[in-house]
Amino acid sequence: MKKPESIKLAGVLGNPISHSLSPHLHGFWINKYSVNGYYIPLLVNRTEIGKSLDALKTLGFRGANVTIPFKEEVIKYIDYISETDAKIGAVNTLSINIKGEITGLNTDVYGFLKNLEKSIPQWEKFVDNIVVIGAGGASRAVVSALKHKKIESKKIVNRSAQRANFIKDQIDENLEIISWSQLDEVLENCDLLINTTPLGMNGQPPLNIRVDLMNKGSIVYDLVYTPLETNLIKSAKENNLQTVSGLGMLIFQAIKGFEEWFGKKPQADEATSLFLKRILQ
């Protein structure tokens, strides 16, 4: 008798977790590619990420995504990580091999850049000056993604100077740290503005930035995708700027994990995006 194929398991570890779109996204691809598997949202006690990883190994999970607040702490518990991802100091994708060894990856770097390239293929031709708002985990991935691009100036502004300094020291020494009071002046010469803070997200205060000071045709990229159209994106559109939403980044960052766990490379196509947009509406 033919041995039945084993059921492939993966999930997302976080706290809170019910808001996560990842189970919808991976569930959509599991159906689309007829995978014999499940992707499960897993609420993890804040002090028990290590124990949770042991449980995943015991239960035969092939891996997991990691989200707030574990992306940094989880590094303590993994066996393999690339030098670049170790410098970023955060991983969002775990792969568990048959020996129970865990490899951690940061796929936000790829997701961020691929989404920008797909949304505005010509971006590198006219972007000389970039401003990044925020200096948390997502910002570290963004700065790392832009590090080797030929860009005249890259600036970062954050509430706490300490975290911005960390990014400059660890990831890109060419980064210039600016204060909020310098922002308006800097925006006049900014071709690409990137919001990596949760400001503008449902339940958070809006991010109030004078995008009207930016040149026509410049790009505003908001990593926040709930709501689909943030206030920042709305005002960028009103000022005839180009916009990039974080939803595409979410989709692109998920490709590598799905391929690792379920053995098929999913397409980040229009159908995937429409499916998620319907959930968010």
Which residue ranges make up the site for ligand NAP (CB under 6 A)? 68, 108, 111, 134-139, 158-160, 163, 196-199, 201, 223-225, 246, 249-250, 253
If the CB atoms of residues 127 and 133 are measured against ligand NAP, the closer one turns out to be: 133
| Alpha carbon of residue 212 to chain centroid | 26
Backbone angles phi, psi at 87, to 5 degrees: -70, -40
Q: Which of 232, 268, 229, 266 is nearest to 248 (CA)?
A: 268
Alpha-carbon gap, residue 93 to 63, rounded angstroms: 8
List the one residue out of 158, 248, 243, 150 whose CA is nearest residue 193.
243
- 71 catalytic residue (yes or no): yes
Smallest gap from residue 240 Cβ to ligand NAP (A): 24
C-beta neighbour count of 8 within 10 angstroms: 18
CB of 58 to ligand NAP, least distance (A): 28
Residue 272 corresponds to which tokens in the numbers above? 């995937």
The residue (of 144 and 196) whose beta carbon lies closer to ligand NAP is 196
In this chain, which residue has its C-beta nearest to ligand NAP?
Answer: 136
Q: Which residues are CB-contacts of 173 (< 8 A; sequence separation ≥ 6)? A: none
Based on CB atoms, which residue is closest to ligand NAP, 8 or 71?
71
Q: How many CB atoms lie within 10 A of CB 117?
A: 13
Note whether 130 and 192 are within 8 A (CB): yes
DSSP per-residue string spanning 59-88: TT--EEEE-TT-TTGGGGG-SEE-HHHHHH
The single residue of 3, 8, 32, 71 carrying the catalytic annotation is: 71
Instruction: Please tell me the distance from the alpha carbon of residue 207 to that of residue 193, in angstroms, as a whole number.
Output: 12
Q: Pick the closer one to ligand NAP by CB: 10 or 201.
A: 201
Please, which residue, 8 or 14, has the CB nearer to ligand NAP? 14
Q: Least separation, in Å, of the C-beta of 250 and ligand NAP?
A: 4
Taking the complex as a whole, the smallest distance from the CB of residue 273 to ligand NAP amounts, in Å, to: 13
In the complex, least distance from residue 51 CB atom to ligand NAP, rounded to whole angstroms: 23
Rounded Cα–Cα distance for residues 4 and 245 (Å): 42
Nearer to ligand NAP, 8 or 230 (CB): 230
Half-sphere exposure of 6 (CA within 13 A, CB side): 10
In angstroms, give the least distance from the CB of 79 to ligand NAP: 23
The catalytic residue positions are 71
